[in-house]
Amino acid sequence: MTIVVTGGAGFIGSNFVLDWLALHDETVVNVDKLTYAGNLGSLSAVMGDPRHIFVKADIGDQPQMAALFAAHRPRAILNLAAESHVDRSIAGPAAFIETNVVGTFRLLEAARAYWGDLPLDEKAAFRFLHVSTDEVYGSLEPAEPAFAETNRYMPNSPYSASKAGSDHLVRAYHHTYGVPVLTTNCSNNYGPNHFPEKLIPLCIHNALSGKPLPIYGDGQQIRDWLYVKDHCAAIRRVLEAGRLGETYNVGGWNERANLDVVRTLCAILDEVRPRSDGRSYGEQITFVKDRPGHDRRYAIDATKIQQELGWMPAETFETGIAKTVRWFLDNPAWVEEVTSGAYRTWIDRHYDRSLVHGA
- Which residue of the set 135, 224, 295, 315 is catalytic? 135
- Which residue of the set 159, 173, 190, 216 is catalytic? 159
- Which residue of the set 134, 230, 255, 295 is catalytic? 134
Residue 211 near residue 355 (C-beta atoms within 8 A): no
| End-to-end Cα separation, the chain, in angstroms | 54
Instruction: Based on the residue annotation, tell me whether 159 is a catalytic residue of this protein.
Output: yes
Q: Which residues contact 333 (CB under 8 A, 6 or more apart)?
A: none
Torsion sign, CA atoms 266, 271, 274, 277: positive
The strand pair at 76-79 and 127-133 is best described as parallel
Q: Which residue, 135, 295, 301, is CA-closest to 220?
A: 295
Angstrom distance (rounded) from CA 83 to CA 106: 16
Active site residues: 134-135, 159
